[in-house]
Structure 1
Amino acid sequence: MQAEESTEQVLKTIEEKTSQPRSQILELLEKKKQKYSGMLTDSGAAWLVAKDLGVELRLERKISEKASISSLQAGLQNIDLEVKVVQAFQAREFEKNSRKGKILNLIVGDESGEIRLTLWHKDARSFEEEKIEKGSRLALHNCRVQEFQGKKQLSLDYNGSLEVLEKGKEKTTKLEELREGMQNIDVIARIARVFPAKKFLKEAREGRLANFELSDATASVRATAWNDLVQEVEGLRPNDLVKIENAYTKQGLKEVELHLGWQARIIKEPKTSAEIPELPARKLERKAFAELAENQAFEQKAVVLELLPGRLFFEVCPKCGKKPQPLEGKMVCENCGQLEKTEKRLVIAAMLDDASKVLRASFFGKQAEELLEESTEKILEKIEGQGAEKTLKELNEKVSGKEIEIQAIAKKNQFSGELEVSVRRVDKT
């Protein structure tokens, strides 16, 4: 069915069932397209207008109930297919006309060929939440075929849907089996360590990379994520279980390393039968402040000299812990969307002395509570009752001179260029 025919058929049905003039229906259609900031086709907007007016649509299909990929032509709509996921790319978020959206691209195939499938917004989120993996068999309902850069591609129409018929069979590579030059590798492992992301320039274009360590029951390897995947790696924590699809290997300075390029995908906490044991707590090297280098993880004993003035808490998404951003008077999380409320977490800056050097240290959330030996709720109550300045003064009197042992990472302050530490764990001495 051609897109124009489908739109025209919907408009005729609305006219017949509502007796509204065509001009008024077209005006409603344009308003609907404007509301969605250009994210709707004429056909999709017409379907929404029909729904608003209480018009039930039953469009006749022009092709077989289950089409094959080789039979698809640009402009076809209302298609059902059964396909297998050949490859899934990492979902990306974007902003258009002050509205945020999500897009996820797949390569799907059947016996007759392969085609790109694009999922938008809620369908992309649903695909991620269900942790659908490579090799899974899907039923696609009510698709449309479009042409982009000379190639046909699929997308779900307004009332389309995706159903998992069969989970993909796991074909993963153990870390000990990695060799130089391997392509399209899938691995399941735990995150051992994540290093701070870095920027780089290549051919006058800026990019980002993040190094991290993976471990399974057979080996540990160093991995590098590039550009769009860096944000995914930054959200990972030690002992998180991940499945990485479509990675490749290169020889590093000492051993073979895993690389996650534009084709790779990270699935956090995948639905897997693989048993990957949790990693033991990492033993860090004890280092004096004067010996620290940038990005070095360490542990050390120190004395709290004073707490520094400044904000005492920050707001996070209560679901995923990320920092939300204001948008049109609302707080919006890039992972979870618009938030009804946010969660407050403590942030404390202090000067520490380990007898070799005095450094500024930052304590967030649980680490701040450990330092102050008070809960976030109790401190917020004090701030509401007597103000931040008096509360900070009382806390200073309580912790100044306190001896603590910390596990932390040394970082350079982006404004001053001075070395400081971000504390990951606090223990009493």
Structure 2
Amino acid sequence: MELDKIVEKIVEESGVKKDEILRRINEKEKELSGLISKEGAAYIVASELGVNLLKERERRLKIKNIISGMNNIELVAKIAKISDIINFEREGRAGRLINMYLGDETGLIRLPLWNDECKIIENAGIKEGDVIKLSNVFSRENNGIVELRLGSRGRIEKVEDVSIELKDMPIIDSREFKKANIADIEKEGYYEVRASIVHVFKKSPFFYLCPLCNTKVEKSEDGFYCPTHKKIEPVKRLVLSTIIDDGTSSMRCVFFGDVAKYIIKDAEHVDEDKICDNVEVGKDFIIKGKAKLNEFSGEYEIIVSKVSNVKHKELIGELETIVKGLKE
């Protein structure tokens, strides 16, 4: 549903004035650091006002909002590329793999099909350029990149009469991160930067999701409620929003889950209310992730998929090579 129609529906059912609704949507988008679209923020505002918009649409995610660890994902996307069949042998058994790259107007994501799953492409009669609907799939991280998995419950079906314009992004595998200075990041893509954390935004480091539909939920007096599934036991996810600096420039950098734990001192034992204070501010890290434009701030930020300590021996070797080149 488009934003203006969402706002119109909220005004109609809640009785709250349009200007106030728009103000709340902007505040919610700012609160979530641009991690969701304005439409997503509007759905949250509607839920807070007791307006159920989910009955107006099917429960689907956009690719840019998919993070590792989600279940029961429903997605409508266009097939950007289907790889050739890769035949391999593992532990004496033959196997097959097809990589399917899916896109929508927000991004691209990989869906690997293993062994018997490869038959789905032939049975469903799908090809590059087709629009498909995925149901009951889940997301996992592979070598630092979030991708989809079909699993035993996942379904793929071809969708007719739906047009999707793909976001202009390169299709890359899970190991291709371009080394860059922060100052040189001027478009969306996958980057590796060496930078230190210089600031941590002091807000709650957790958010909560409905385990059935992955909707962000808020706590009320008697527990957590999802607009669709009513009272639920939510999935708790860690998120840390930071500013990083590499000497050329600075930018916002967001860490989720186990990746976020990596930058916390004594992560397994620190009290939850001390998490932000225990982030290793000032320490250099190798950070790999996806740079995207924050719709609220108008600036690029990195959604981190992998973080590691700087290997100083390798760094010294790189510096020696640079110095040698200058002398020559």
TM-score normalized by the length of structure 1: 0.37
Report 1 or 2 for greater relative contact order, CA contacts < 8 Å, sequence distance ≥ 6: 2
**Larger radius of gyration between Structure 1 and Structure 2:** 1
